[in-house]
Amino acid sequence: MRRRQDLDGRISGVLRLEQAIADHVELIAMGEAEGDQAIITEAEKALQALKHDLAEQEMAALLSGEADGNDSYVQINAGAGGTESQDWASMLMRMYVRWANQNKFKVAVLDEHEGEEAGIKSCTLEIKGHNAYGKLKTESGVHRLVRISPYDSNARRHTSFASVWCYPVVDDNIDIVVNESDLKIDTYRASGAGGQHVNTTDSAVRITHVPTGIIVACQAERSQHKNRATALKMLKARLYEMELQKQQEKIDAANAKKTDIGWGHQIRSYVLQPYQLVKDLRTGHTSTSPQLVLDGDLDDFIQASLAQRIHGGGPGQVEDID
C-alpha cells in the first residue's frame, strides 16, 4: 500500500504539472492573439513559478531504486592528517545534519568519536525520512577540502580528506541472515556527553563481521542490549547495501561503464582558499558558494549525480583543483 500510494502521488503530481503548463501556454497564446501583454506576462511568471515543482518531480523520478525510499545511515571517517582532517570530518557531519533538517528529516547520532584537539575521528548518523537513502546514496566517497588551516600558525594552505559512506536502513520486509558465529562483539565505555552512567559502564557495542571485515558501532543508548540491537541492525544494513553495490556493478559492467561512486574514490572538492568553489568530480556540477553547500545546500549536487547514474554518460571534465 505504501508503494502504491507513493506511485499514485507521483503520477497525480506529474498530471497536475502537465495540466498547469498546458493552461499557461494556452493563456500566452490567447494573450498574443488578443495583443494583451498583461496576460502574457502573468502566464510567463506562473510558468517560472512551476520550476520548483518540476525539479521535485524530476528528483522523484530518479528515486526508483529498491531501497531508495528507506531511511539512511551516514558514516563519516577522518582521513590521515590529524586535527585538520578531523575538523573537516566534523564540518561534513554538520553539513549532512543541516541538509537533513532542511529536508525535514530526523537525525540521530548513533556513534561519535571526538578528535584529540578538535573535530571528530568518526561518526555514524541515522537519517530518517522518505527517500533519505535514495537522495544520499551518491554521497558515498572521499570528500576533499582545500583551505588556509586555522590550526597552522604559519597560515599555510592545507588539503584534507574525509570519507563518507551511506547505506540504507533495512526494514522488516528485507530478510538478512547473519550467523552469530561470524560475529566478534566488543563492549567499551562510551565517549562524549551522555551522563555519568554512559561514561562509567561498558554500554557501547562494536560488532565485527569476520567474513567481510565490516565493523559497526553504537553508543547512542544507555543500555548495552539496545546498542547491540542497533549495531546488529546497522550490520544487516551494510550487508544489504553490499549486495546492492554488487548489482550496480553488474549493471555498470553490462553498460561498459566504470562508476566512480564508491569507497576510496574522490567525488567532490571543496575549495575555500585561494578562491571559492565546490566541484563534483563525477558530474562537473559546481557552486561558487561553498558556505551555502557546507550549510546543507546539497540538492543540486545530489540531483546531478542521481541523473548521471540513471541516464548514464561519463564524468565531467575533472580538473586538478589545487
> Would you state the pLDDT for residue 173?
59
| Within a domain: 316 | no
Q: Whole-angstrom Cα distance, residue 207 to residue 195?
A: 24
Joined grid coordinates for residue 181: 558465529
pLDDT digits (tens, 9 = 90+) for 149-188: 888 778 788 889 999 999 888 866 566 778 888 888 888 8
Q: Do the beta carbons of residue 268 and residue 279 sit within 8 Å? A: yes
Q: Whole-angstrom Cα distance, residue 248 to residue 269?
A: 24
Pair (80, 215) in one structural domain: no
Pair (100, 148) in one structural domain: yes
Q: Which of residues 62, 88, 106 is at a domain's end?
A: 62
Pair (78, 167) in one structural domain: yes
> Would you state the pLDDT for residue 317?
38
Alpha helices in the chain (DSSP H): 2-34, 37-49, 51-62, 83-102, 132-136, 195-200, 224-254, 290-294, 299-311
CB atoms within 10 A of CB 320: 5
> Number of structural domains, the chain?
3
pLDDT digits (tens, 9 = 90+) for 8-44: 877 888 888 899 899 989 989 988 988 889 888 998 8
The answer, yes or no, to whether the previous bond of 274 is cis (omega within 30 of 0) is yes
> Would you state the pLDDT for residue 258?
36
- Any long-range contacts for 145-149 (C-beta under 8 Å, 24+ apart)? 145/88, 145/91, 145/269, 145/270, 145/272, 146/269, 146/270, 146/271, 146/272, 146/273, 146/321, 146/322, 147/271, 147/272, 147/273, 148/272, 148/273, 149/84
Q: Whole-angstrom Cα distance, residue 242 to residue 165?
A: 12
Say if residue 61's pLDDT is above 80.
Answer: no
Q: Whole-angstrom Cα distance, residue 198 to residue 227?
A: 12
Pair (294, 150) in one structural domain: yes
Say if residue 86's pLDDT is above 90.
Answer: yes
Pair (230, 200) in one structural domain: yes
75 pLDDT tier (thresholds 50, 70, 90): very high
> Would you state the pLDDT for residue 200?
57
Pair (85, 226) in one structural domain: no
Q: Do the beta carbons of residue 78 and residue 89 sit within 8 Å? A: yes
> Would you state the pLDDT for residue 6?
73
Tell the residue number behind the cell numbers 562508476, with chain if given: 259
Cα-based angle 307, 310, 315 (whole degrees, multiple of 5): 65
Q: Which of residues 220, 253, 286 is at a domain's end?
A: 253
> Would you state the pLDDT for residue 247?
67
Q: Which of residues 62, 82, 99 is at a domain's end?
A: 62
φ, ψ (nearest 5 deg) of residue 236: -60, -40
Residues 6+ apart with CB under 8 A from 113: 120, 121, 122, 123, 191
Determine the residue type at 197: H
Pair (247, 151) in one structural domain: no
- Domain ranges, residue 299: 72-171+256-311
Total H helices, total E strands in the chain = 9, 11
| Within a domain: 45 | yes
Tell me which of 44-48, 49-53, 284-288 is least confident.
Answer: 49-53
pLDDT digits (tens, 9 = 90+) for 206-262: 999 998 888 999 988 888 888 888 888 888 888 888 887 776 676 555 444 333 333
| Within a domain: 55 | yes
Pair (99, 209) in one structural domain: no
Q: Do the beta carbons of residue 182 and residue 211 sit within 8 Å? A: yes
Average pLDDT over residues 77-86: 88
> Would you state the pLDDT for residue 316?
42
Pair (138, 273) in one structural domain: yes
> Would you state the pLDDT for residue 310?
67
> Would you state the pLDDT for residue 257?
37
| Within a domain: 220 | yes
Share of the chain above pLDDT 90, in %: 33
| Within a domain: 318 | no
Alpha carbon separation from 148 to 61, 155, 160, 205, 274 (Å, rounded): 40, 6, 11, 37, 8
Pair (140, 272) in one structural domain: yes
| Within a domain: 98 | yes
Q: Whole-angstrom Cα distance, residue 219 to residue 188?
A: 9
Q: Using a cut of 0.85, tell me whether the model's pTM lies above it.
A: no
Average pLDDT over residues 54-79: 83
Q: Whole-angstrom Cα distance, residue 120 to residue 114?
A: 4
| Within a domain: 157 | yes
| Within a domain: 321 | no
Say if residue 314's pLDDT is above 50.
Answer: no
Average pLDDT over residues 125-133: 92
Pair (231, 260) in one structural domain: no
Q: Looking at residue 217, which CATH number applies to its domain?
A: 3.30.160.20
Rounded to the nearest angstrom, the gap between the alpha carbon of residue 159 and the centroid of all alpha carbons in its chain is 22
Pair (235, 109) in one structural domain: no
Determine the residue type at 26: E
